[in-house]
Amino acid sequence: MKKGLLIVLSGPSGVGKGTVLKEFINDPDLKLSYSVSLTTRKMRPGEKDGVNYHFVSKEEFLKVRDAGGLLESAEFVGNYYGTPVAGVEELRNKGRNVLLEIEVQGARQVRQKCPDALTIFIVPPSMEELERRIRGRGTEPEEIVQQRLAKASREMDMIGEYKYVVCNDDPRLAADIIRVIIKRHMEQE
Ligand SMILES: Nc1nc2c(ncn2[C@@H]2O[C@H](COP(=O)(O)OP(=O)(O)O)[C@@H](O)[C@H]2O)c(=O)[nH]1
Ligand SMILES: Nc1ncnc2c1ncn2[C@@H]1O[C@H](COP(=O)(O)OP(=O)(O)O)[C@@H](O)[C@H]1O
């Protein structure tokens, strides 16, 4: 059986990663498995433990990380995030395409370990629109919004490290473009 792809999806906070993902993640043709990360950030209304993230304390996170349980990890605006190593290779060996929705430092670590990873960066139509979206979502206090926006400009400087850059103007169109990219790579490898 053909080994599944390792797909990395990044993009600044509020660009619409989650919104675009919802449009294609359950497409049976793409054979995707979403990797549920560990995070120390607080759960947002509507999020579910074990579905959006495994919500853990800082102590639990560091214990897993230090025991070698993470494929990659990073600190993002005051919280830790990491991809559990268990499951990723197993799923790929079963032919599943594993999707990691992670930030730029983690993506770098993944690329070092797995240079074949299919990396996609989602950009907003403009920084003003990004600001409108992150504020409009209303999940973070103003101080955190400011920190995430400052981070966003630095992250946007890293798009050259990604194989594909997709603009999220219309989420369905962005999802269709990502579908085509994944299908093309499924045929190639
Ligand atoms: N390195 C790394 N980044 C992650 C992981 N999970 C999520 N992230 C990233 O952490 C950042 C913050 O995520 P989150 O707090 O959910 O905010 P959101 O992007 O605004 O929805 C985003 O860039 C995510 O892509 C992970 O396991 N590892
Ligand atoms: N193409 C788009 N046009 C307008 N609003 C969008 C678009 N994509 C996402 N949004 C909105 O922007 C906000 C942030 O989207 P979200 O998917 O939570 O981003 P991320 O997961 O990248 O942080 C949400 O309120 C979402 O409804």
The two three-digit tokens of residue 29, written as one number = 């043709």
Measured by CA distance, the residue closest to atom 21 of ligand 1 is 13
Predicted ipTM > 0.95:
yes
16 lines ligand 1 (CB under 6 A): no
Element at 119 (helix H, strand E): strand 118-123
Ligand 1 centroid–CA 103 distance in Å is 6
Ligand 2 within 6 A of 136 CB?
A: yes
16 labelled ligand-binding: yes
Query: In angstroms, what is the span from residue 19 Cα to ligand 1's centroid?
Result: 14
Question: Cα–Cα distance between 110 and 116 in angstroms, integer?
Answer: 10
| Cα of 14 from ligand 2 centre, angstroms | 6
DSSP codes, 39-104: E-SPPPTT--BTTTEEE--HHHHHHHHHTT-EEEEEEETTEEEEEESTTHHHHHHTT-EEEEE--H
**pLDDT of the residue at 1:** 84
Q: pLDDT per position in the chain (189 positions), as tens?
A: 899 999 999 999 999 999 999 999 999 999 999 999 999 999 999 999 999 999 999 999 999 999 999 999 999 999 999 999 998 999 999 999 999 999 999 999 999 999 999 999 999 999 999 999 999 999 999 999 999 999 999 999 999 999 999 999 999 999 999 999 999 999 986
Per-residue model confidence (pLDDT) at position 189: 65
